[in-house]
Chain A
């Protein structure tokens, strides 16, 4: 293998792989405009903007969206606090049980979501906790911690440890050091971690089906539509909007970390 030029076979295989990943998502964009109401007919018999207006006026969609945003916001805040505390502890000091802490943080996404889901569900029923926004948040925050943690740990690792010592050497106590040195240096990592955590929570469905009870987040709403379709064109429109909305944090995360490090949030 020449190291500077790819062989034709490799080029074709890589391009085909990327097309395989992207074409289905692009298809969603076409279906959002179809005039066909009852089936998934291709090619679309006609194009229309009508379903955007219909979707706009659907209160159930707005309610689901509202709940999703609320849950994702609270979960992100909790994950930011817990994840950065954990990252600070693990990266600043060597202590007995460091590996265990890392494992504990990673476990909620390393184990299948259905396990996390049913575990929380049975715990809620044992502890007699009624379903609410907070039961959803409890689950989401738990698996969002690792996203923030990964980003913050990577940044801490790249930040010279002597910066903190330098700040204290120059007269700043720990809280002043936190405000003037640590936070400015890990800020982008936290923003990226927060955006990815938000995206993850916003999209989560497996754990949520166990912790939501009768409430509907946007993914639960979509799941209902997939299992028991009511108005397919509305689903099409919502699907397209969801794709567009989830792209934003990813693009944002990319531009913030460009040239510094990979977005350390591969585990979803």
Chain B
């Protein structure tokens, strides 16, 4: 018997011998599987992040424009000058508003898709959510530039309805108003909601699909009116999904610098600040410090979300 095995081994090809080794040493197999992705992500991605973090502890000499490679917290202190802090507050406020509006608009869609859409309608809803989500980011922004332009479809529609006085009155308001919607903070807000809202639908839908129908019926049986069922049963169960979705809407809004650049006022958001400081100004340390802000905010956000059980809904 063992003689037979020996001849068998002798006849084995390279792949069988390699396979034998991997079977005898499962840890080696695991290492071989993990090595390429971990090396790639570890060196290219984490390495870059680390380099970025390092730069934020340097500072720039404002006279020569050269980077001073000495450890300092001065660059971080610069974040708290009124002009810079304003940028952070504005961005976080916008991210919060976008998240809130996205949740409000996404909830009915997710609710309908999860609980009522059957058969063909299920497919329609699925594609109806996936297509805009995956449509080109820039094209979506461009579409809103067309809509919000002074000579665009929105003005035309309001004129048709004789409601343009309403728009003018709204644009006259401070902070949210402006010359036209496409150069107002409201315009920025609408586009943010439009572009990132689809990311809110799927997690809410996933969370709602896990609610057994019988649970809602039980609530109805116990005499709850629809509003009460929503408040006490449906909403709490959907909450992990909403939090999971908000991770996307919040994070994506926080780091976006293209939407406010194309649609909105000249007031900066964090992403724009990062872009300008590293590009035109050449102030890499300050750009790096600005980039750390969303990392820290998202770190805190993810920690809270994890404690609320939102990751199960991802």
The residues of A with any CB-CB pair to B shorter than 8 Å are 1-7, 10-11, 13-14, 17-18, 20-22, 24-25, 27-28, 31, 39-43, 78, 81-83, 85-86, 88-89, 93, 95, 101, 104-105, 107-108, 110-116, 118-123, 126, 138, 141-142, 145, 173-176, 196, 199, 203, 205-206, 209-210, 219, 222-223, 226-227, 235, 239, 242-243, 246-247, 249-251, 254, 258, 262-263, 266-268
Contact = CB atoms under 8 A, between A and B. Distances in A.
B255 A25 contact: no
Contacts of A199: 134
A205 B258 contact: yes
Given A39-B149, A42-B151, A5 B116 contact: yes
Contacts of A175: 15, 18-19
Main secondary structure of the interface of B (DSSP, over half): helix
Given A122-B48, A223-B138, A142 B41 contact: yes
Interface of B: 15-16, 18-20, 22-23, 26, 29-30, 33-34, 36-38, 40-42, 44-49, 51-52, 55, 105-106, 108-109, 111-113, 115-116, 123, 125-147, 149, 151-153, 156, 194, 197-199, 202-203, 206, 213, 216-217, 220, 226, 229-230, 234, 247-248, 251-252, 254-258, 261-262, 270-271, 274-275, 278, 284, 287-288, 291, 294-295, 298, 302
Contact of A111 (B30, B36, B123, B255): B255
Interface hub of B30, B41, B112 (most chain A Cβ within 10 A)? B41
A108 B26 contact: no
Main secondary structure of the interface of A (DSSP, over half): helix
Given A89-B34, A250-B131, A226 B108 contact: no
A108 B226 contact: no
A219 B156 contact: no
A116 B45 contact: yes
B38 A1 contact: no
A149 to B, nearest CB: 8
